[in-house]
Amino acid sequence: MRIEPLTRLASGDARATAKRRGSAALRAIAVGGCTALLAAACLDGGGSAASDRVEIRWFVGMGAGSDAPTIPAQEQIVEEFNASQDEIELVLEIVDAEQAPDILSTQIATGDAPDIVGPMGIRGRSTFPGAWLDLTPYIEKNDYDLSDFDPALVDFYQIEEEGQIGLPFAVFPSFMYINLDLFDEAGLPYPPQEYGAPYVDAEGNERPWDIETMTELAMQLTVDAEGNDATDPAFDPENIVQFGFGNVFADIRAQSALFGAGSFVDAEGNAQIPEHWAEAQHWYYDGMWEDHFMPNGPYGDSDMMGAGSWFESGNLAMGNTHLWYATCCMAGFEGNWDTAAVPSYNGQTTAKLHADTFSITADTEHPDEAFEVLTYLLGDAAEQLTATYGGMPARISLQDGYFERVGAENFEGQDINWDVAVDGMTYVDTPSHEGGMPNFLEANAVIEEYGTRFAQEPGLDIDAELEALREELQVVFDAE
């Protein structure tokens, strides 16, 4: 496997984008004469390995864990593991999140790959296709107990032609964030909090909770400076002060997943635009530029809409995003909010999932010892680490009390229905919207360029834009 050194930030991850809005100082430790690019290879992992111990390097930076408040807890985990046995020396390598993809790429390319990388999201793993060890034989060899995980989440990490490249650790289900105050002001009933339940309007009529119903609600909840909603002929789209719906911190793949799981890569590895994703793009574009019920680029980047953190601004009635948004980005929200089920499309509901785990590199020289450390991180250390990173534990036995802690720490006095988040994991997007693509970074750059035009320019021919996107992706795929 040949992996070229990377030249741009790999993550593009919505969580990374959100965290950079108000991030604390990040830690990248270089020792002696190390360059920034090779800093990871020179980190002090909390003590040198004893001569009779196998050294296992744990690389942190491709997701959570490089921000200063999380570092002491990770150091404690390493100290406790090393004290618990005398055969393995776990060495912690924490690098700056901005530099992590370049550093990891260089280490892999030069034969100096770490043994374990994580926590890492789907997109981070997809950046390095073929770089991860198939855990299947080690699970079988150690008779590793998977019964504490939802089988669907275990299958989520089963990647065609790569195998079981991870196991569940922290999950971030998606759901609808509902601004109750804006609904109350408009005199509109709230959306359902149970999947499969209908929307009941003010007259008591039942409607399917689907994209069509949500669109009608979103237009009634989009208001201009004169108080006219988007259904009113007098509505002024140049002076909107409140929007009805928005997919918060989402690129076009995440947007399109609302209409169903899909991929820009077909079964033969060629570029494609799934039909339902094309339909999603038409709906989003019309929603921004013609029906005006969701923020376009200029509105979305404005201070009125929280410079991208739309729901936090208080000026969005319905937002679709993940659990991590509640803990990372709601500090500025004033008012009352609750959850709701994700609406269906063509009778199918898809609640896209973000999920973090640890993976073992395929080039590790000590796979058995690395697997032992992995099971420690996923087992004995899981409760402390998921709390440190702010994720919902994937282990069923650790989920009791999680949402009570989240509510007490972030939303005291509000009765949030967190069951909606848990129930949404039945409807995860498989394949993931963050899944792999050939020549991933270049492909992602092409997608981002399309997304910029899509959000910033009115009057586009979306069919032509999507065909151009497919053609550009094919060129990038062929160049891998």
pLDDT digits (tens, 9 = 90+) for 77-108: 999 999 999 999 999 999 999 999 999 999 99
- Helix ranges, 292-416 (H): 297-300, 323-328, 367-378, 382-389, 402-410
Query: Do 90 and 64 belong together in one domain?
Result: yes
Instruction: Note whether residue 424 is domain-resident.
Output: no
Contact yes or no for 434/122 (Cβ under 8 A): yes
Look at the block and give the residue holding tokens 């999380």.
Answer: 70
In this prediction, residue 89 carries a pLDDT of 98
Domain identity same for 346 and 370? no
Residue 470 in any domain: the answer is: yes
Report the CATH number that the domain containing residue 260 is assigned in CATH. 3.40.190.10
8 part of a folded domain: no
Q: Is the pLDDT of residue 479 over 70?
A: yes
Give yes or no for a cis peptide into 237 (omega within 30° of 0).
no
Residue 401 confidence (pLDDT) = 86
166 and 185 co-located in one domain: no
Q: Does residue 136 fall inside a structural domain?
A: yes
56-62: average pLDDT: 97
pTM (2 d.p.): 0.84
Shared domain check, 282 and 201: yes
Q: Check whether residue 160 and residue 187 sit in a common domain.
A: no
Same-domain pairing of 178 and 148: no
Grouping H, G, I as helix, E, B as strand and the rest as coil, residue 176 is: strand
Q: Is 155 in the same domain as 187?
A: no
Q: How many domains does the chain have?
A: 2
Is the pLDDT at 50 greater than 80? The verdict is: no
- CA torsion 265-271-273-275 (nearest 10°) is -70
Beta bridge partners of 392: 171
pLDDT at residue 23 tops 80:
no
The label of the residue with tokens 């509901």 reads 349
Residues 331 and 302 in one domain: yes
Residue 448 in tokens:
């981002």
249 and 379 share one domain: no
* Amino acid code (one letter) for 251: D
Do 131 and 77 belong to one domain?
Answer: yes
405, part of any domain: yes
Task: Write out pLDDT tens, residues 423-436.
Answer: 998 899 988 898 88
Using alpha carbons, select from 316, 323, 270, 324 the residue that is nearest to residue 293. Answer: 316
Last residue of a domain, one of 417, 445, 460: 417
The last residue of one of the domains, among 367, 383, 417, is 417
Query: 16 pLDDT band (50/70/90 cuts)?
Result: low
Report pLDDT digits (tens) over 369-419.
999 999 999 999 999 999 888 889 999 999 988 888 888 888 988 999 999
Q: Which two tokens stand for residue 4?
A: 């070229």
d(CA 454, CA 446): 12
Is residue 423 in a domain? Answer: no
Cα–Cα distance for residue pair 150/148, rounded to 1 Å = 7
Please check whether residue 238 lies inside any domain of the structure: yes
Q: How confident is the model at residue 43 (pLDDT cuts 50, 70, 90)?
A: very low
Looking at residue 150, its pLDDT comes to 87
Has residue 8 got a pLDDT over 60?
no
Two tokens, residue 364: 């590790």
Using DSSP's 3-state secondary structure scheme, residue 182 falls into helix
What is the residue-averaged pLDDT of the chain? 89
- Residue 395 domain-assigned? yes
Range of the domain at 330: 172-352+434-478
Full DSSP string of 389-415? HTPEESSGGG-TTHHHHHHHHH-TT--
**Count of Cβ atoms closer than 10 Å to residue 352 Cβ:** 27
Same domain (yes/no): 204, 332: yes
37 and 106, same domain (yes or no): yes
The Cα 356–Cα 393 span in angstroms is 10
